[in-house]
Chains A and B, each alone.
Chain A
Amino acid sequence: MKQFFRFLATVLCAFLISLVPFYGVCSYVWLGLPAYYREGYHKGLVKQYRALKRSDETQPKIVAIGDSSMAYGVDSAQLSSLTGMPCYTLGMHGGMGMAYIFELLEPFIHEGDLIVYPCNPYGAIYYGVDLILMSIEKEPDLYFDFVLRHPFLALSRLKDRCFVKCKGLAMNTPYETTDEFYGKDSFDENGNFTVERGDGYWDYFEECEHIEYSPKIYGDTMILHLNAFDSLCKERGATLLLTSPAMYRGVVDNDEASIEAFEGWVRDTFTAPLISDWDEHFYEKEYFFNYVAHCNSAGMKRYTDSLAEDINSYMEEK
């Protein structure tokens, strides 16, 4: 029996010893070496998180969460002046997955808070590990929080990202953001996407895939997680509000009746209230920038105005 338990102890020790150099090397590359993704838009998420961290937890606030359509569409300063509540945004890219956004937001949900979520069908509930890691490079608190919570997820991608980073640093090839407008400096200190955006890339627009809003585009996982998140908000005395994302009208294939039916389905399926008419945020081309759900500056202003109106009327009704 002694031999058996000695064997088990040796296995456990060997396992732990294997983990130490792996996570040690990866953590050193990710936190100790010079930043590689410092210019990327991913850093906007960290700015948003830090702004939330600075927020006064005794004062009720509005937090708009979501993916890039929210980042392009909600101006927290404008929303704040229109609603009279401090406003924050949290969300940068659909590829990061909403699961991570919920997780980041969780410690900051307090009594009286309003969490507004433009419930985009692209905003699937998962962890986009690559983009998350790129955001939290050289951010020890966020890095350790993620790695300790999700060691297996981190395990799956960390080494690959470290390899790319080391290669990039060694060969002196800087990380190129995908969009000149969507970089670290496009965001103010609160993570607000303040850079001036004019007309969009219309050629690209016309090639975009069309969308038809129907229950099937929201999977069961989305319904389950969103309702669970709503329960968490309620437990903390906060309110989750659903709204529709801004969308270029030209790509929506629904007619009026099917949109109404879809809206009914959203109200029946999700436990959080829907505060907008679903087609309220279908805009023309001139309000978009480089994607069918990415507002330009005029679109952002219009969307934020409309959102503030919806929030205010919800609050009045309440």
Chain B
Amino acid sequence: MAFTTLPFLVFFAILFVLYYLPTWIPFLKGKGVQKWLILIANLVFYAWASPYFLIFLGASSLLVYGASLLFGRIDKKTELACASLERAEKKLAKEKAGKKKKGILILALLLVLLLLIVPKYASFFLENLNAILGAFGVETDFKVSLILPLGLSFYTFQNIGYLVNVYWGKYPPQKNYFLYLTYISYFPHVLQGPLDEYEELFPALCEEHEFCREKAEKGLLRVLWGLFKKWAVATQIGLLISPYLSGETEALGLTVVLCAVGYAVQMYADFSGYMDIAIGCSNMLGIPLAENFDAPYFSTGVAEYWRRWHITLGAWFRSYVYYPLMRSKGLSALRKCLKKHKYLASVLPTSLALALVWLCIGFWHGADWAYVLHGVYHGLFVISASVLEPLYSAYHKKFPKLTASVPYRIFCIVRTFAIVCFGYLLFATGDISLSFTLIGNLFAEGGAAQISALFVGNEYVFFSAGLGIVLMLVVDVVYELTKKKEKKGFKSWQIYLLWILLGIAILLFGAYSEADASQFLYFQF
């Protein structure tokens, strides 16, 4: 059930009314009915596309739930045993328990990742196997066609995050499976994130929420803003550039540039629009979700861009891949080996860890070399920024006025945006050969004529998308300039006015039937 469809509107309207009902009925008040309502809503929402998807969600969460319970049991047993043991024996018992837990963790992680890898990557691996064997003269045609359950990558990562944290002893395991399922399958984040941390989201899910008009009003405003971004910007731009990105029409010169910039804006409007709807809906239910965007196109470097784009994914990779890698025996040993070369001891392990992280991010996005290459491309910029850090610091120290000036900052923003846009040429097609064709056509002639031909008959699409982009830009600029200042909230009447204006803008500039506006770009990942 996509957020931009009529079934979702009906679904959410019913849930919204039912959700606050228990708070007005004395014998239901304080009985925790709301969280069970959320669970039912989650399952209906998720099973809407296909009840078969529930099998994956159930299996993955059950596996993690079981493993986390085992961690809890082992910890408890060890604690009890240790009470009557001597210090040396205690250490031994803890080591033994630690090994047991590690074994369970590895097994559980492998199984959960298998549930992700088989439907998402099996076809990709077989295709490559066919190609490799073909290169050795062995003709094979291994094929498999599996349906990829919606949101699989997202809830797999949430499951892993929870499991690892319980393993680390950050919080105790959840004893009730259905409560755990409520967290994992929470409908605003199950399909596309944000990847909320268990300790932050779970208490809010279990709490009883009285209706708060202010939260509901702001939540709805956020939903409308998300719908505007999706319908008036993302879908309209998609109408213009999708024939080129799908290879249906060959893009030349300036059209390739238009595609790259257009896709960057479309992706941002689409993904952040989805997040606005998700966060807005959740806020209307009194449950806050993590923010996933922080005006990313105002970043002055690629590393900063990734701290502001899909924030929760970046945080996930930092917490569960990068830091564990940096603490791993291998990299610690490398650091020790290079002790004498201070710079190398700091840069080399970091670069190796970053390289692996970016390879994983590339793979996470999809089963095609185009996505892997996109990950590597961004990784190279991040690694080079880390390697050249002393040089940058020296440069900043030498020219403090210049590097603090607004034009320099604007230059850095434009440079980063250009890097990101070029990266999208690798990513947007989802097909490596098509991406190379696009890049190869970057300097081909005929782009201007192609764009003017595209303009004819699409004036309204250009007009709507252009207006939407300007509005988004204004909002983001205001946000960027005022985010560190204390903000006064909107008054109720201002919110109502904004509702109406956004409502009119959505009706006037949105695209509904021309393209499949109910599909969000990030569903595929």
Interface residues of A in 252-268 (CB under 8 A from B): none
Tell which of B216, B460, B499, B514 touches A156, judged by Cβ atoms closer than 8 Å. Answer: B514
> How far in angstroms is the closest Cβ of chain B from A186?
25
The answer to whether residues A163 and B463 also contact, given A7-B213, A14-B500, A156-B512 and a CB cut-off of 8 A, is yes
CB nearest to A15 among chain B residues: B503
- Docked-complex contact A17 and B507, CB < 8 angstroms: no
- Docked-complex contact B217 and A7, CB < 8 angstroms: yes
Asked if A106 lies at the interface with its beta carbon under 8 angstroms from chain B, I say no
Interface residues of B in 174-215 (CB under 8 A from A): 211, 213
Asked if A10 lies at the interface with its beta carbon under 8 angstroms from chain B, I say yes
Residues of chain A within 8 A (CB-CB) of B211 are: 1, 3-4, 7
Docked pose: A266 CA to B184 CA in angstroms? 52
- Docked-complex contact A159 and B507, CB < 8 angstroms: yes
Residues of chain B within 8 A (CB-CB) of A160 are: 460
Docked pose: A19 CA to B504 CA in angstroms? 7
CB nearest to B20 among chain A residues: A4
Asked if B220 lies at the interface with its beta carbon under 8 angstroms from chain A, I say yes
- Docked-complex contact A157 and B507, CB < 8 angstroms: no
Looking at B24, B216, B507, which has the most chain A CB atoms within 10 Å of its CB?
B507
- Docked-complex contact B496 and A18, CB < 8 angstroms: no
Docked pose: A119 CA to B20 CA in angstroms? 54
Residues of chain B within 8 A (CB-CB) of A10 are: 496
Residues of chain A within 8 A (CB-CB) of B507 are: 18-19, 22, 155, 159
Docked pose: A22 CA to B24 CA in angstroms? 37
Docked pose: A160 CA to B24 CA in angstroms? 46
- Docked-complex contact A6 and B460, CB < 8 angstroms: no
Docked pose: A15 CA to B220 CA in angstroms? 12
Residues of chain A within 8 A (CB-CB) of B514 are: 156
Asked if B405 lies at the interface with its beta carbon under 8 angstroms from chain A, I say no
Residues of chain A within 8 A (CB-CB) of B459 are: 163-164, 167
- Docked-complex contact B220 and A164, CB < 8 angstroms: no
Asked if A204 lies at the interface with its beta carbon under 8 angstroms from chain B, I say no
Q: Which range holds the interface residue count of chain A?
A: 20 to 34
The answer to whether residues A18 and B500 also contact, given A159-B507, A164-B459 and a CB cut-off of 8 A, is yes
Residues of chain B within 8 A (CB-CB) of A155 are: 507, 512
Tell which of B220, B460, B504 touches A11, judged by Cβ atoms closer than 8 Å. Answer: B220
Instruction: Write out, one digit per residue, whether chain A residues 5-27 have a CB within 8 A of any chain B CB (1) or not (0).
Output: 01100110011011101100000
> How far in angstroms is the closest Cβ of chain B from A15?
6
Tell which of B24, B496, B503 touches A1, judged by Cβ atoms closer than 8 Å. Answer: B24
Docked pose: A1 CA to B500 CA in angstroms? 24
Asked if B508 lies at the interface with its beta carbon under 8 angstroms from chain A, I say yes
Instruction: Write out, one digit per residue, whether chain A residues 293-315 have a CB within 8 A of any chain B CB (1) or not (0).
Output: 00000000000000000000000
> How far in angstroms is the closest Cβ of chain A from B365?
32
Docked pose: A115 CA to B513 CA in angstroms? 32
Residues of chain B within 8 A (CB-CB) of A21 are: 504
- Docked-complex contact B460 and A163, CB < 8 angstroms: yes
Residues of chain B within 8 A (CB-CB) of A1 are: 24, 211
Residues of chain B within 8 A (CB-CB) of A11 are: 220, 499
- Docked-complex contact A7 and B500, CB < 8 angstroms: no
> How far in angstroms is the closest Cβ of chain B from A1?
5
The answer to whether residues A14 and B213 also contact, given A22-B507, A156-B514 and a CB cut-off of 8 A, is no
> How far in angstroms is the closest Cβ of chain B from A82?
42
Residues of chain A within 8 A (CB-CB) of B509 are: 159
- Docked-complex contact A14 and B499, CB < 8 angstroms: yes
Interface residues of B in 453-509 (CB under 8 A from A): 459-460, 463, 496, 499-500, 503-504, 507-509
The answer to whether residues A22 and B213 also contact, given A1-B24, A10-B496 and a CB cut-off of 8 A, is no
Residues of chain B within 8 A (CB-CB) of A17 are: 500, 503
Instruction: Write out, one digit per residue, whether chain A residues 159-197 have a CB within 8 A of any chain B CB (1) or not (0).
Output: 110011001000000000000000000000000000000
Q: A14-B500, A15-B503, A163-B463 are in contact. List 8 more A-B contacts (CB 8 A).
A: A3-B211, A4-B211, A17-B500, A18-B499, A129-B513, A153-B513, A159-B507, A160-B460
Provide 5 A-B residue pairs closer than 8 Å at the C-beta atoms, listed in order of the A residue: A14-B500, A17-B500, A18-B499, A156-B511, A159-B509
Residues of A near any B CB (own CB < 8 A): 1, 3-4, 6-7, 10-11, 14-15, 17-19, 21-22, 129, 152-153, 155-157, 159-160, 163-164, 167
